[in-house]
Amino acid sequence: MGKKKLIAVAGISLAAVLIGFLGIVLWWASQPTKPKQTCDVDNLVKPAGWNMAEETRLALELEPDLENGIEVYEVCAACHLDSGWGRVDGTFPQLAGQHRTVLIKQLADIRALNRDNPTMYPFASPGGPQIVSDVTGYIAEKRLMNPNNGKGPGDDLEHGEKLYKENCVKCHCEQGQGSAKNFYPRIQGQHYEYMLRQFEWIRDGKRRNANPDMVKQIQGFTEKDMKAVIDYASRLKPPKELVAPPSWEPDLAD
């Protein structure tokens, strides 16, 4: 092969490699980015008449002390477990994975008796905004979610999906991830039995701290509708990074 021919072949090969490489880069750039599990709206929507304890605002302004958070959480673990997973039978909700803003609001509301919780009240009543900040900071930063939350019977999921898309997405989002900014709870990964009880109490005005817009939205729900939509919600998957690996044996210090 002559020298010129060799240079030409090498040049063509290099060009081919470069074009191929460019092609790959362009293809990669044109791929849709994986949808992130968020649908926060920019403005905080706070409907009039939404009962929110004053302590919520105070606790949100304080820096959490996670070391103290572990100590406070020891009491909570008696019911919500070391893992923060609660119980599949719904007696105790899962706290792991919940938005810190939601944990703060719910804890502050329970403490202020805006939300009835006679089982928990005696254990949660001492303290103040700093303790609320510490324990919720600990839960939100250190607890991973139960990979096997309680689910419904799975016999009416199509109806559940339709109801969910029409009535819940605007607040709890497509995947049930909720909105930290708006205090909308994460409901993906939560236990079916717990959610069913809360949903009914919210509908019937028994959970007095509920968002009035949600109360209005679900007024017409029958028993069958409630079961179907909560069953569907209990099957929505949290993002992997929030879920505990299968062999995780949680210790409070983890």
Query: Where do runs of H (alpha helix) occur along 61-211?
Result: 66-80, 100-111, 121-124, 129-142, 157-167, 169-172, 192-203
Binder among 97, 101, 143, 183 for ligand HEC (CB under 6 A): 183
Binding of ligand HEC at residue 138 (CB under 6 A)? no
Q: Judged by CB under 6 A, how many residues of this single chain contact ligand HEC?
A: 45
Binding of ligand HEC at residue 135 (CB under 6 A)? yes
Of 184 and 244, nearer to ligand HEC (C-beta) is 184
Binding of ligand HEC at residue 236 (CB under 6 A)? no
Burial of 159 (0-12, 13-18, 19+ CB in 10 A): middle
| Cα–Cα distance measured from residue 254 to residue 243, given in angstroms and rounded to the nearest whole number | 14
Which residue's entry shows tokens 């949680």? 250
**CB 103 within 8 Å of CB 185:** no
Which residue's entry shows tokens 């069958």? 224
CB contact set of 43 (below 8 Å; sequence gap of 6+)? none
Binding of ligand HEC at residue 120 (CB under 6 A)? yes
Residue 145's SS3 state is: strand
To 10 degrees, the CA torsion angle through 84, 106, 58, 127? -60
> Residue 205 corresponds to which amino acid?
G
Binding of ligand HEC at residue 175 (CB under 6 A)? no
Binding of ligand HEC at residue 140 (CB under 6 A)? no
Segment interacting with ligand HEC, rule: CB under 6 A, options 53-61, 145-153, 160-168, 236-244? 160-168
Binder among 140, 184, 228, 235 for ligand HEC (CB under 6 A): 184
Of 21 and 123, nearer to ligand HEC (C-beta) is 123
Contacts (CB under 6 A) with ligand HEC, residues 26-55: none
Residue whose C-alpha is closest to residue 238's, from 192, 172, 189 = 189
Segment interacting with ligand HEC, rule: CB under 6 A, options 2-10, 63-71, 98-106, 147-155? 98-106
Binder among 213, 237, 239, 250 for ligand HEC (CB under 6 A): 213
Residue 243's SS3 state is: strand
**CB 84 within 8 Å of CB 94:** yes
Residue 202 Cβ, how far from ligand HEC at the closest point, in Å? 6
Binding of ligand HEC at residue 123 (CB under 6 A)? yes
Binding site for ligand HEC (CB under 6 A): 72, 75-76, 78-80, 92-93, 95, 98, 103, 105-107, 117, 119-120, 123-124, 135, 163, 167-168, 170-172, 183-185, 187, 190, 195, 197-199, 209-211, 213-214, 217-218, 229-230, 233
